[in-house]
Amino acid sequence: MTVPALQITQLAKSFGGVAATRGVSLTIMPGERRLLIGPNGAGKTTLFNQIAGDFLPDSGSIELFGETITRLPTRKRVHMGLGRTYQVLTLFPRDTFLHNVALSLIGSEGGGWSAWGALKHRSAMLEQAEQALVGVGLGQAAHRRVSETSYGERRRLELAMALAQKPRLLLLDEPLAGLSAEERETVRVLLEQIPRDVTIILIEHDMDVALAFADQITLLNFGQVILEGTRAEVIADPRTREVYLGG
């Protein structure tokens, strides 16, 4: 039997008296495109934060490609093949696009900064960074500073930084948020082009794009899995309309 890309078992987390995640179990197979939906505050990003290791769950376990990562620090999860983009952009605004991707590549080397030499002499790495930017259509913007670029370009930079690390499991938190119709189309095509050896979990409110992209959908509400199934099953289920599509 194939080992799941991600297996979450009975995960629970509360902040003070508020239960943010209540007994969530999820199994995601390699190559899958999984969409997480649910109203605001349903616990989608909180779940991402726990998969990434921003904070530890109170109970339950998380396995990444068959290895338990429940209590591992974030950087070790990243070295095992976890990548993530953020809903709220977290870039290095004073630096160039190329520099942002370079930081991502240095991070995936794991302590690669032990090279104290000048960054600009690391030509192999910078070449790789440039390729990652070309891959999201930002080849020309490589030497522009983040602060001088448009929001749409920054969204694509987020994606380039995650993809440059060649993740095996990629968490995308609203990659289309705040984009124009035209930019959405660009990002949609980029997402389609990600090879199937990358497993993707997507949080997205743009249903046109998200539903076309996903194989499987999980509906969350109040930190619980309400429903899980194929696209057709979840859309047809009355509970989806009730809690999310705003019936």
Partner 1 sequence: MTGRQLAAWALVALALAVVPVLLPSAFYLGIATHALIFAIMALSLNILIGHGGMTSLGHAVYLGVPAYGVAVMTMQLGWSPVPTILFALALGTATAALFGVLALRASGLGFLMITLALGQVMWGAAYRWVGLTGGDNGIRLSGRPTLFGINLTDAVPFYIFVALILFMALFCLWQLDRSAFGACLRGTRDQPRRMRMLGHDVWRIRWTAFVLAGFWGSVSGVLYCYDYQYVSPAALSLPQSAEALLMVVLGGAGTLAGPVVGAIVITAIKTIVSSYVDRWYTLLGLTFIIVVSVMPTGLVPGIAAWVKGRRA
Residues that bind partner 1 (CB under 8 A): 52-54, 73-75, 78-79, 84, 86, 90-95, 99, 102-104, 106-113, 115-120, 122, 161, 165
Min dist. Cβ of residue 74 to partner 1 (A)? 4
Residue entry with tokens 């969530």: 24
Closest among 41, 54, 102 to 82, alpha carbons compared: 54
The encoded tokens of residue 83 equal 């990548």
Min dist. Cβ of residue 240 to partner 1 (A)? 31
Min dist. Cβ of residue 95 to partner 1 (A)? 8
Q: Say how far apart CA 201 and CA 44 lie, in whole Å.
A: 11
Min dist. Cβ of residue 86 to partner 1 (A)? 7
Considering beta carbons, is residue 54 or 208 the nearer one to partner 1?
A: 54
Q: Say how far apart CA 186 and CA 77 lie, in whole Å.
A: 29
CA dihedral (193, 198, 199, 202) positive or negative: negative
Considering beta carbons, is residue 6 or 226 the nearer one to partner 1?
A: 6
The encoded tokens of residue 44 equal 């989608």
Angle, CA of 77, 130 and 53, to the nearest 5° = 15
Considering beta carbons, is residue 108 or 186 the nearer one to partner 1?
A: 108
**Sheet strands side by side (includes 224-230):** 82-85, 169-173, 199-203, 33-37, 216-221, 224-230
Min dist. Cβ of residue 171 to partner 1 (A)? 9
Considering beta carbons, is residue 109 or 127 the nearer one to partner 1?
A: 109
Q: Say how far apart CA 59 and CA 77 lie, in whole Å.
A: 18
Min dist. Cβ of residue 48 to partner 1 (A)? 10
The encoded tokens of residue 60 equal 């339950």
**Sheet strands side by side (includes 59-64):** 18-28, 6-15, 59-64, 67-68
Considering beta carbons, is residue 20 or 78 the nearer one to partner 1?
A: 78
Considering beta carbons, is residue 81 or 225 the nearer one to partner 1?
A: 81
